[in-house]
């Protein structure tokens, strides 16, 4: 099994509802996003998934979040735009695009600040 990863980032604002503190106020982060894809096999070039192609697919997902107020866009107008929920959102969207018989998104790691973040992976 190979685990391929790329890193990307996006900037956005959010408000955490019912937080009971500062995070309820509108504020922003530069989220760093690390995407992991498991590949069972390699192509004849020895590549599991081309980094450039993965990067393009990740950018498609992140562009819907970049420079937005997440609290105002779906699904975060209903569910809280926490890093946990954002990581799962990216996981689900990217899985729709990337997953095939030979490869699947395995986890999403996002950093809200330098020292804080979330890793989402589905239960196995
Ligand atoms: Zn925040």
What would the DSSP string read from start to end of 103-115?
EEEEEEEEEEETT
Gap from CA of 116 to ligand 1 centroid (Å): 11
For residue 15, the CA-to-ligand 1 centroid distance in Å is: 7
| Band of residue 94 on the pLDDT scale cut at 50, 70, 90 | very high
Predicted confidence at residue 123, as pLDDT, reads 82
How confident is the model over 16-28, as pLDDT tens digits?
A: 999 988 899 999 9
pTM for the model stands at 0.95
Q: How far is the CA of 38 from the centre of ligand 1 (A)?
A: 30
Q: How far apart are CA 91 and CA 17, in angstroms?
A: 22
Pick the CATH number of 2-120 from 3.40.50.720, 1.10.150.120, 3.40.1280.10, 3.30.479.10: 3.30.479.10
pLDDT confidence of residue 124: 66
Q: Determine the distance separating the centroid of ligand 1 and the alpha carbon of 122, expressed in angstroms.
A: 24
pLDDT tier for residue 101 given thresholds of 50, 70 and 90: very high
Supply the Cα-derived Rg of the chain in whole angstroms.
15
Q: Considering the chain, what is the average pLDDT of its residues?
A: 96
pLDDT, one tens digit per residue, over 2-13 is 999 999 999 999
What number is the average pLDDT over the span 80-90? Answer: 98
Ligand 1 midpoint to CA 112 (Å) = 7
* 31-76 pLDDT per residue, tens: 999 999 999 999 999 999 999 999 999 999 999 999 999 999 999 9
What CA–CA distance (Å, rounded) separates 3 from 105? 9
CA of 83 to the centre of ligand 1 (A): 8
Domain spans, the chain: 2-120
């Amino acid at each position: 099994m190979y685990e391929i990863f790329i890193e990307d980032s996006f900037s956005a604002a959010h408000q955490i509802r019912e937080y009971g503190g500062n995070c309820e106020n509108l504020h922003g982060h530069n989220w760093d996003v690390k995407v992991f894809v498991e590949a069972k096999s390699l192509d004849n070039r020895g590549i599991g998934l081309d980094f450039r192609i993965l990067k393009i697919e990740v950018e498609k997902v992140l562009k819907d979040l970049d420079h937005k107020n997440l609290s105002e866009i779906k699904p975060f107008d209903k569910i809280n735009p926490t890093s946990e929920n954002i990581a799962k959102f990216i996981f689900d969207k990217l899985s729709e695009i990337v997953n095939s018989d030979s490869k699947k998104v395995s986890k999403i790691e996002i950093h809200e600040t330098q020292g804080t973040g979330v890793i989402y992976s589905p239960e196995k």
